[in-house]
Amino acid sequence: MTLTFHIGLFLVVVKTASVPDFEMKGIRKDVFGVFHDPDSGVEVKVDRYTLTSASGVEVQVISYGACVSAIVVPDKSGKKDHVTLGFDDMKGYLENAYQGSSIGRCANRIGKGKLVVEGQQYTLTINNNGNHLHGGTRGWDKHVWESHVSEESVVFSRLSSDGEEGYPGAVLAQVKYSLDAAGGLGIDFEAMTTRATPINMTNHCFFNLAGHAAGQGGLLEHLVRVNADRFTPVGQDLIPTGELASVRGTAYDLRSPTTFGEALPRAPGNGFDHNFCLQFKHRGELELAACFLHTPTGRGLEVYTTEPGVQIYTGNFLPKEANKMVGRNGTSYTYQGAFCCEPQNFPDAVNQRNFPSAICCPGKPYKHSMMYKFFVQK
């Protein structure tokens, strides 16, 4: 199969393998569901791929939102359980945003949806309390991506048109998922553009290592450590003030292992939704950003990234009422029932001069590599 994309004056041809609906190179493919595309008005098939490691970790990814739809991990007794929130069918993903999705064109918040690129001001769609969040009303998480198997990886790609959600430039984006024998899920993001444009891609899995149905009680039992000595304080609208503040003596000092149960009461609003500035020696190399351990089950997660920041979010906007969000196997997902660890550039970087640049230019592709590495402590 050959995919052809037009990016401005450039014609990009991607050759892919034709993948039948059975196991291929350790990857099983089937159909997850059907999506009614609001742009074309046609129904689009949503593919699902299942990857399994020698360590017993199983990962499922779907072409809607280039999304991680399931991760199953054994505990210290060998019992397997889902460790991410997820849904049994397309209805759940259509009704609940960002669950396991690939986020783009620009993850996190952009103040008032305003930005200036190469002297020209742009206004993006507003979809979060007067601000732009996670790519807009219909970000990359709400599209069906092209998909194929390449060697032992699943690759998703899509063309984002010039002007989509207000962004300048056409962008060809790719997300590649690879599962190693030890249970490390590698995620590689790449993008190239026809015009200077902000790009900041990440994955938005909601984790609960106690099991997806364990809720807030399970979350509070997690030990957490974040490799960051600074964070970006925010205002009431959750837009960074521009300060790079020390975590020392604050609720954001997670450099030593502490439980969420101890940390959350100290955090403003009793929860985290903040960017931590990582203590990396060499930006661009895969380094450890954060580590989580659920001691009762022994399940652990290390998160690696090449980006300068990581957003720690404790599910503060999940519904407080039961059965408002019904997930896998009829499970009710509620307030602080899971956490996210989203490696990325700093929020609102396009409007903060002292933040790392989030602008991608023609001829200089955007690249971000990250990994969810699972382990069991017995």
Each residue of 334-356: pLDDT tens digit? Answer: 999 999 999 999 999 999 999 99
**Segment 189-203, tens digit of pLDDT:** 999 999 999 999 999
What's the average model confidence in pLDDT over 353-374? 97
pLDDT digits (tens, 9 = 90+) for 122-131: 999 999 999 9
Q: Is there a single domain that holds both residue 176 and residue 122?
A: yes
Active site residue 132: no
- pLDDT attached to residue 282: 66
CB atoms closer than 10 angstroms to residue 233: 16
Among 23-27, 71-75, 284-288, 331-335, which is the least confidently predicted range? 23-27
Is there a single domain that holds both residue 221 and residue 181? no
Whether residue 376 lies inside any domain: the answer is no
Cis peptide, bond prior to residue 138, ω within 30 of zero: no
How much is the CA Rg of the chain, to the nearest whole Å? 20
Question: Mean of the pLDDT values across residues 58-85?
Answer: 98
109 lies in the same domain as 135: yes
pLDDT tops 70 at residue 100: yes
The answer to whether residue 370 is domain-embedded is no
What are the DSSP calls for 110-170, one per residue? EGGGEEEETTEEEEPPP-BTTBEETTSTT-GGGSBPEEEEETTEEEEEEEEPTTGGG--S-
Q: What is the pLDDT of residue 46?
A: 98
The pLDDT > 70 percentage for the chain reads: 93
Out of 132, 222, 342, 368, the active site residue is 342
Q: Does residue 27 share a domain with residue 162?
A: yes
Same domain, 57 and 33: yes
Residues making up the binding site: 108-109, 273
Q: Which residues partner with 133 through β-bridges?
A: 109
What is the mean predicted confidence (pLDDT) over 235-260?
Answer: 96
Number of Cβ atoms within 10 Å of the Cβ of 225? 17
Rounded average pLDDT over 96-117: 97
pLDDT at 11: 39
For the chain, give the mean pLDDT. Answer: 93
pLDDT value, residue 254: 98
As for how many domains the chain has, the answer is 2
Q: How many residues does the chain have?
A: 378
Question: Domain boundary residue among 174, 203, 232?
Answer: 203
Residues 169 and 290 in one domain: no
Whether residues 17 and 83 fall in one domain: yes
Q: Is 222 a catalytic residue?
A: no
The pLDDT of residue 2 is 42
Specify the CATH number for the domain of residue 28. 2.70.98.10
Predicted pLDDT at 113: 98
Give me the mean pLDDT over the 282-302 stretch. Answer: 93
Same domain, 186 and 219: no
* CA 109/CA 99 separation, integer angstroms: 17
pLDDT tops 90 at residue 1: no
Residue 166 has pLDDT above 80, yes or no: yes
145 and 224 both lie in a single domain: no
Mean pLDDT of 304-308: 96
Task: Supply the pLDDT for residue 227.
Answer: 97
**What confidence score (pLDDT) does residue 24 get?**
53
pLDDT at 281 over 90: no
Judge if 188 and 275 occupy the same domain: no
Among 135-144, 263-272, 287-296, 299-308, whose mean pLDDT is lowest?
A: 263-272
Give residue-wise pLDDT tens across range 13-58.
444 333 334 445 579 999 999 999 998 899 999 999 999 999 999 9
Bind-site residues for beta-D-galactose? 108-109, 273
**Looking at the structure, do residues 255 and 165 belong to the same domain, yes or no?**
no
Residue 179: band (very low, low, confident or very high) from pLDDT cuts 50, 70, 90:
very high
The answer to whether residue 349 sits within a structural domain is yes
367 located within any domain: no
The whole-angstrom separation of Cα 62 and Cα 56 is 20
Pair (147, 173) in one structural domain: yes
Residue 296, in any domain of the structure: yes
Is position 71 within any domain? Answer: yes
Mean pLDDT of 147-155: 95
Asked if 313 and 339 touch (Cβ cutoff 8 Å), the reply is: yes
Are 86 and 328 a contacting pair, CB within 8 Å?
Answer: yes
- 291 within a domain of the structure (yes/no): yes
Contact 136, 124 (CB under 8 A): yes
How far apart are the C-alpha atoms of 145 and 136, rounded to whole Å? 17
pLDDT the model gives residue 39: 86
- To the nearest 10°, the Cα dihedral for 223, 229, 232, 233? 80
Catalytic pick from 204, 222, 294, 368?
A: 204
Host domain of residue 150: 2-203
Note the pLDDT of residue 262: 97
Q: Above 60 in pLDDT, residue 371?
A: yes
Assigned domain for 374 exists: no
